[in-house]
Amino acid sequence: MLTDQEKLLEAAHSGLKDDFLTAGIRQAKTEDVSSLMAIKGKVIAHHLKFGIDQWDEIYPTESDFLQDVYEQTLYVLESAGQIVGGLCLNEVELDGYETANWQAESFLVVHRLLIDPDYQGSGYGRQLMQFAEQQAYCLGKNSIRLDCFTENPAAISFYQKLNYRICGEVTFRKGRFLLMEKVLRPHEKSPTILEEWSD
């Protein structure tokens, strides 16, 4: 019997992900980590311009990304052969997630979403999130969960525009984070979510 991770890998080569293969989303390799670390550095500098102190040398680290690669949960988005963003997608909830008022019991969790600031506004963040939602859909999961730094209003707005709702709040090393969820209801084949993916 396939585990959820094996199903995720299988889904990565068939069905709903085909559109994203064309768009340049693929599973990350070890050699991609240096590009993601470079993007992380640019994201930190960009955030600091707006007084957002979220990521640093402690998180996320090269080891975090390498572990994601090892676990086959890291994906990258390429444009013209260049990596412009990525995310980790798994079932790992951080400490404090259990306090949220989640609406769905089965889920995948998005971690470490990052987009090269030079490409912000190009729709790549939305593309990666739609990819995550479709992977969850393929696995029969009912929702996507994530956390978002309260001092990053642009990120909060981004997720809310994608219909993520606040389900709670947790405090991590850097401060307060909102716990957010988008219910997909895959078994009802909701027209709303399918229409979002086709935009």
**pLDDT for 49 beyond 80:** yes
Domain with 162, as residue range(s), is 4-198
Number of domains observed in the structure of the chain: 1
pLDDT band at 10 (very low <50, low <70, confident <90, very high): low
- Residue 37's pLDDT is 98
Indicate if the pLDDT at residue 18 is higher than 80: no
Burial, 68: exposed, middle or buried (Cβ in 10 Å; 0-12, 13-18, 19+)? buried
pLDDT at 196: 64
SS3 sequence, 48-68?
Answer: HHCCCCCCCCCCCCHHHHHHH
Q: Is the pLDDT of residue 190 over 80?
A: no
- Measured distance CA(182)–CA(147) in Å, rounded: 12
Q: What is the CATH number of the domain that holds 32?
A: 3.40.630.30
pLDDT digits (tens, 9 = 90+) for 64-84: 999 999 999 999 999 999 999
> What is the distance between the alpha carbons of residues 185 and 28, in angstroms, rounded to a whole number?
28
- pTM of the shown model: 0.84
